Amino acid sequence: MSGHAAIHDVGRDRIVVGAGATWRDVLAAALREGLTPPVLPEYLDLSIGGTIAVGWRSTSSRATDAS
Ligand SMILES: Cc1cc2nc3c(=O)[nH]c(=O)nc-3n(C[C@H](O)[C@H](O)[C@H](O)COP(=O)(O)OP(=O)(O)OC[C@H]3O[C@@H](n4cnc5c(N)ncnc54)[C@H](O)[C@@H]3O)c2cc1C
């Protein structure tokens, strides 16, 4: 799925990425804009598509200090 890992657009309240992008990709793209996602999984190498496919549970996720 690496061909679908593109970061398409980073906005202040949303980011548009390919399903193969990882949370690490998302965090790096957000940090380049001075932003942090409001929540992240503890393991950043999960894909966005794979996370959504299993329902995105927050029990092992961490809220970030996005202020
Ligand atoms: C260490 C660890 C920590 C985790 N922490 C969290 C957490 O904090 N929150 C949370 O919600 N989940 C968490 N998970 C679960 C994780 O979200 C799932 O295992 C997810 O399916 C991983 O997706 P992947 O694509 O990275 O892995 P893969 O092994 O590549 O894929 C896993 C499954 O997802 C399917 N899949 C992948 N991409 C897509 C797609 N684009 N469309 C449809 N199906 C797809 C695959 O076919 C496969 O069945 C964690 C898992 C691990 C191993």
Q: How far is the CA of 54 from the centre of ligand 1 (A)?
A: 7
Q: What is the pLDDT of residue 14?
A: 94
Nearest-angstrom CA–CA distance, 66 and 52: 22
Q: Is the confidence at residue 3, as pLDDT, over 70? A: no
Q: Could you tell me if the CB of 47 is within 6 A of ligand 1?
A: yes
Q: How far is the CA of 46 from the centre of ligand 1 (A)?
A: 6
pLDDT tens digits, 6-60 = 999 999 999 999 999 999 999 999 999 999 998 898 899 999 999 999 988 765 5
Q: Could you tell me if the CB of 63 is within 6 A of ligand 1?
A: no
Q: Where are the alpha helices (DSSP H) in 1-67?
A: 23-32, 48-53
SS3 27: helix
Q: What is the pLDDT of residue 59?
A: 59
Q: How far is the CA of 36 from the centre of ligand 1 (A)?
A: 21
pTM value is 0.86
Nearest-angstrom CA–CA distance, 10 and 25: 12
